[in-house]
Structure 1
């Protein structure tokens, strides 16, 4: 419990100055490349259906001409930015205040800073090169190497994520969660446990690493294709010192496929005892109107600053974390 009267920021003045320099660096980076800075709503009419994300509901008094009496603080600006792309914005980026319920730890705060950008005409591989330029230019670190999701699990956890049985996965996770505690997580849940407890730990000793070609069941809003005889998502994550910095996609543009994924998300939410979330029809209309072929990525700015300053807790780079906000 935070003591009464606690008012001072947890981040040092040095960290606040470094954050300002980081923002200056980012804006200069995108300005040189002709990427437009945008702003989209923090409070929206819809949350997200993703099983692993919980939106923060915001209630407000009725507004003239608008029957809605509640909304959602956005977990990312993705849906609104895709509506801009469909309207012909061209390449865009945004520094965004995002909100996710139930997330607090050394690398998480319910409110956090996110950099998100989209590149029409880029594939996931082309966007990875730009991510590397931005991150390595700021951190002054070696260029990342690339490892497929499959190779990462084989190398660092000793199993093939596409071939291992559910029983073996569940038993393996009990090492970390305790006997009986892995039941019900499902295949993707078990794989997430191994990623966080084994792969990410091993990546602390590796140079910066892009992990690519995730299972199709973890595609979210990414395209899917077949590689090595299995369906995989055109999704990548960048790890530096074992810290996940970003999540990027070669974006799905098919409105009907996206609708089916939203419906599947809600079925998964029901199965997990979570409330269903209304589907964002405005995003689907934008996809139908014509989202350009593009790649997009979201990058955690608080974590990026932690790495720059050699900090181990997000509270060291955020002025007022949730407990004292």
Structure 2
């Protein structure tokens, strides 16, 4: 049947609904009960010789992807969670009732099969169906084609169909799960305690970002979805949980593109009595660990470029990086007019109240970030954009902070944590001034966190890694939506047919 003559989805749906009574008339429930399967498609294929020789019965369940009816015989392809296997139906093997049921089956239906393994004359491993039952009647037809850029939006919006049609999508998320398990194991084995902190917060913090705002009716309070767990994890440091980490869902009410989703997964870790060097070491080891889990190597090709994440990675200060890629030297950031002149020359926008450090960061964003392909760390960030980082001992305009980049994307952010409560209050007040000057991403003052710091927080290494971006690299994915099962999407156009 051609695309032009194929019935419309709603018409096919009505035809399938019409089959429900026919299936019930044969004594079958079209939405059946549990089925005790004992083999997966992969297990059958891997053990085909032994199964064929023994004549052992196998029980397998899955979805019909292809049905080829040849009159008194038929072949079908069944897909389960592990892969595909061919089925062979014969009229003289099945009961009359089972054979009638077969002609009411459609592509997409889920069945349970009992049969024996053999090879066809072409050598294909196949299950000869001795008996079977319907487990679920699919009321909507599967698409004939489900790939290509023209279908991208539909694939993300209808991930359940994407997973049915594209086994490689399932493999992407299986790889993601393996990497998450490896990361958890790494931190647990290094003495870190996995913890959970609030997602609903009375005051957001831990990053410069716009929050999602909601209302708690029970207490008549404005609440925020967390933009980062940082300030709660630091409270735990004060309380004596010296090594902690959280794999978090964070929420930022910002733009969406191939590198940003409003809801995303990150890991934050805190190591008491450590510093920036510990955070850098963790970053390199975790990324190398994930590369091994995904590729079996710390060297791999991503979008045609060979990347090498083998530790250690090269480093540049932010000033050095800007000088390398623009030829302009911000020096020690003591000269605001010099910084403004550089920005004017490079056509980089800055605000009336922006200091030299903020201008440096703007130039870095515009001119450097998209040049950082191989793994590297950018260190010594300006104080204006690092409200939670410890001051650099050599230049108080800079902080002991780094960001890690791979393939032009910021992957990690870490620093020697600021544990001086008086300095922290000054930083928050500086951020408050930024808010009053129109920066709605500036960090608010968290008085309870300030109180906690005054009880004493040890020197600490802090690290945050954007796991979705890391998993993009390790699965060869071009968009962050490829590694999020249900990414944020615009509503489907009204009346859009699937």
TM-score range, shorter chain: 0.7 to 0.9
* Aligned 1:76-225 pairs, distance under 5 A: 76-139=228-291, 140=298, 141-143=309-311, 144-162=313-331, 165-174=338-347, 184=352, 186=354, 187-204=356-373, 207-225=374-392
1:83, CA displacement in angstroms? Answer: 0.8
* Aligned 1:231-310 pairs, distance under 5 A: 231-272=397-438, 274=440, 279-310=445-476
1:277, CA displacement in angstroms? Answer: 7.0
Distance across 1 between alignment mates of 2:174 and 2:462: 28
**Structure 1: runs of 5+ lacking an equivalent:** none
| 8 A Cα contact 1:270 1:276, kept in partner | no
Distance across 1 between alignment mates of 2:442 and 2:383: 22
Distance change (3 Å), C-alpha of 1:110 and 1:123? same
Pair member with larger Rg: 2
Distance across 2 between alignment mates of 1:258 and 1:306: 35
Distance across 1 between alignment mates of 2:350 and 2:459: 39
1:15, CA displacement in angstroms? Answer: 2.0
Offset from partner CA, 1:128-178 (integer Å, 9 cap, x none)? 11221111222222221121122111112211233572332332442xx6x
Partner of 2:192: 35
| 8 A Cα contact 1:170 1:190, kept in partner | yes
RMSD: 2.5
267-276 or 97-106: which moved more?
Answer: 267-276
1:122, CA displacement in angstroms? Answer: 0.7
Scaled by the length of structure 2, the TM-score of the pair is 0.58
Partner of 2:76: none
Distance change (3 Å), C-alpha of 1:276 and 1:76? closer
**Structure 2: runs of 5+ lacking an equivalent:** 1-152, 164-168, 292-297, 299-308, 492-498
Distance across 2 between alignment mates of 1:279 and 1:92: 24
User: SS in structure 2 opposite 1:105?
Assistant: coil
Large movers: runs of 4+ above 4 Å = 181-185, 275-278
1:286, CA displacement in angstroms? Answer: 1.0
Partner of 2:211: 55
Q: Which has the higher contact order (CA 8 A, sep 6+)?
A: 1
Scaled by the length of structure 1, the TM-score of the pair is 0.87
Distance change (3 Å), C-alpha of 1:127 and 1:49? closer
| 8 A Cα contact 1:77 1:96, kept in partner | yes
Distance change (3 Å), C-alpha of 1:210 and 1:49? closer
Offset from partner CA, 1:92-146 (integer Å, 9 cap, x none)? 1110000111132111111100100000111111221122111122222222112
Distance across 1 between alignment mates of 2:198 and 2:352: 36
1:189, CA displacement in angstroms? Answer: 4.9
1:323, CA displacement in angstroms? Answer: 1.2
Distance change (3 Å), C-alpha of 1:235 and 1:6? closer
Partner of 1:8: 159
Distance across 1 between alignment mates of 2:257 and 2:269: 26
Distance across 2 between alignment mates of 1:273 and 1:145: 33
1:32, CA displacement in angstroms? Answer: 1.5
| 8 A Cα contact 1:75 1:98, kept in partner | yes
Partner of 1:323: 489
